[in-house]
Chains A and B, each alone.
Chain A
Amino acid sequence: MSPKLRRELTGLAFISPWLIGFIVFTGLPFLRSIQLSFTRYDIVRPPKFVGLANYQSLIFDDQVFRNAAVVTLKFAIISVPLGIFCGVILALLLNANVRGISVYRTVFFLPSIVPTVATTAIFSWILNPQIGLVNGLLAKCGVTGPAWLGDPKWALWSLMFMGLWGVGNSMVIYLAGLKDIPNYLYEAAIVDGASPAKRLFKITLPMLTPVIFFNLVMGVIGSLQYFTQAYIMTNGGPEDSTRFYALYLFDRAWRYADMGYASAMAWVLFLAIVVLTSALFGTQKRWVHYGS
């Protein structure tokens, strides 16, 4: 046995608990779901091959599927850039050299470690149309706030707004990215007489683009799989305005016992994520600066 092979085998042996877990709990179900997507399967009876029927129904017949896809895309298109914008702004502010900055950083990071279920419960109260904090503040300004989660025009926006609560996670990554920008670039820019705005747009943001790109990709994948908050707070309503793709997939799988159809949905989602992520990777040459 060559030393290289031996080293590799040793490494594999050490990561084997994870590898076994991945193969058993992710890899095999992943492959099995391809097979199930071509079957009629109600969990109770054995799957029966139906060819492309599930995909046909999805694409040509299912209005709820189309609506769920639109809602999810809309959410991704708005909430991901919004999250990036807020995360970067916050990171820039928290990168300043002021007294007690570590306290501010902790305060802004704290909400992101609160469990999702607890956050959603709190926001259900904050957004309560009659006794909620948001409408209470609006009322002080003489504005009658909407029934946030109960109004189809506002429910999706409410979830986007709530998403900003967890922006601390990406903020920390941006902050690390900011710390990674070499100081000599700023020193040179100052010597050249660059204004703070110029330094932001010509040094900070370009040097931060690899981190922004990372958060963009992760954000898109995460928002296309958005589930928990909508499941707890609105359960798809009102009027399907928050029926996210993953929520509908869950309903099909477990409430309607339609596992074959749900598997087809999962594969459509997977392909959509692959296409979108590839497209994002395709654009990175134009705007992501890895430095040299």
Chain B
Amino acid sequence: MAAKHIGKMVVAVFATILLVWFMASPKKPASDAVYRKYPDRIPVRFWHMWSAEWKVVVDRIVDRYNKSQNKYEVLALSVPGGADTKFLLGAMGGDPPDVMAQWNPVIPTWAEGGMLLPFEDIMTPQERRLFDTQSYPIVKRVGQYKGKTYGFPIGLQVKGVFYLPEAFEETGVREFPKTWEELCRVTQRMTKKDSKGNISRLGFMPGSWAETSSLFGGGIYDFQKDKLTLGNPKNLDCLKNLVSLRQRDGYDSVSRFQSGLNSSSFSAGWPFIVGAYAAVVDGPWRVEQIAKYAPNLKYKTALVPAPSGGLPGAGLGSGNFMIIPKSAKEKQGAWDFIKFWSGLSQPTVAAEFYVWGGWLPPSDAVANAPIYQKYMKEHPQFATFVSAIKSPMIQAQPPVAYQVFVNDTIQKYEDLALRGEISPTNAMTEVQAAVSKEISRRKRLGYDE
């Protein structure tokens, strides 16, 4: 009897061990060739966050790279949700991708923690020279932390004004305004309301406080002095201006307008396409989307004009960039792929990728490529952004480890001010106080030693 029970127990334990082993053992595909086109090449694992229509573009670029040489095979994986977390867990577990495309503000934290490979360690002196001499100023700012390049830009963004000439003409405006004040003034007349009093078309939707403040001579960060400049009085001027703009259209009305479908940022559902804005500040990728979803839309673009006494050509730039984890297994392959995509090795070839994605070029070498020039001719609206990105006045996100906190805090108090809940002055004070508090907390805990 006892032997029978022991037998059962042994079977149960054995079955359990088998089950745990089966579940825990890494799944290896029956054959690599099943999903690898080039099984004889060195695999380079590439993670990115694009999905849907963007994923198609990325897959095309990867395919083009894989066909361009016979040493590496880039294996792309789209990780659209929670990519940072997955990357962190992969890196902590010693199995990160070899290269990852990013746009989140991760560089300061990850670089500070020694997770990322500085590109200075992998670039040859000639490549370094090319990068330094060819790239636009913003390119170097986007991926830098403490003087080293941890993110290699593969597409830049800066905002501009998209506007409907018809709406301007309706109100007797023939030429796009030269100053911020004039733009605000003329677009006031373009706001339309329906019979229920809801806004059906908003005259002008500006960019965020962070995006606009540099036009006023302010900004979040001083790259020369390496410090946050939230207290810059020009930032307050900017916020006051944005608040007064919101006030004139009605805090509640605009809030309702934004809460409706008009806040949709989906490609085909972008409100500008259906005429919900007479003028709106947005990014260059919209040009390609309009071409795809509303090819007959008559619109123009312009640089966001600076206010009188402001800084024309200023703005906040950002970009998609590549990172290589320090623990990546195939760093050389990753770097080779980055050079190919970014255009550092073959700018004329890479120019096509920038066209596919509607991304701004990192250098004149890419911008002057015939295919890019052709694209700008076909889409003259895009040229506005290309001229904007060259400006040395374009700022980047503050390269501090608590960047997300800074952005969230700015956004929170900007929102409060734009809803008329607190005054712009109080919003500024609160932002500074919250950020100072966070900085001292981090200091106390020794985060930024």
Contacts and interface: CB of A to CB of B under 8 A. Distances in A.
Contacts of B437: 61
Contact of B5 (A6, A14, A147): A6
Interface in A1-58: 1, 6, 9-10, 13-14, 16-17, 20, 40, 42-45, 48, 50, 53-54, 57
Contacts of B92: 43
Contact of B109 (A1, A13, A44, A131): A44
Nearest to A150: B259
B256 A44 contact: no
Nearest to B84: A254
Contacts of B405: 256
Residue with the highest number of chain A CB atoms closer than 10 Å, among B82, B88, B114: B88
B104 to A, nearest CB: 9
A280 interface: no
Contacts, number: 110
A9 B444 CA distance: 51
A263 to B, nearest CB: 13
A238 interface: yes
B2 interface: yes
Interface in A244-269: 251, 254-257, 260
Given A48-B446, A150-B258, A130 B198 contact: yes
A128 interface: yes
Interface residues of A, number: 43
Interface residues of B, number: 50
A57 B112 CA distance: 23
A128 B261 contact: yes
A187 interface: no
A256 B415 contact: no
Given A10-B8, A16-B16, A147 B109 contact: no
Given A17-B20, A254-B84, A240 B5 contact: no
A254 B20 contact: no
A44 B88 contact: yes
A256 B9 CA distance: 48
A42 B403 CA distance: 14
A20 B20 contact: yes
Nearest to B17: A16
Contacts of B415: 237-239
B274 to A, nearest CB: 13
B13 A40 contact: no
A144 B196 contact: yes
B247 to A, nearest CB: 17
Contacts of B421: 152, 239
A129 interface: yes
Nearest to B430: A63
Contacts of A63: 434
A152 to B, nearest CB: 8
Interface of B: 2, 5-6, 8-9, 12-13, 16, 19-20, 82, 84-85, 88, 91-92, 109-110, 112-115, 196, 198, 252, 255-262, 401-402, 404-405, 408, 412, 415-416, 419, 421, 434, 437, 441, 444-447
18 contacts: A13-B12, A16-B16, A40-B447, A42-B109, A42-B447, A45-B113, A48-B446, A128-B261, A129-B256, A129-B260, A130-B257, A130-B262, A144-B196, A147-B252, A149-B259, A150-B259, A237-B415, A254-B82
Shortest 10 CB-CB contacts between residues of A and residues of B: A44-B113, A150-B259, A130-B260, A13-B12, A147-B259, A40-B445, A147-B256, A16-B16, A45-B113, A129-B256
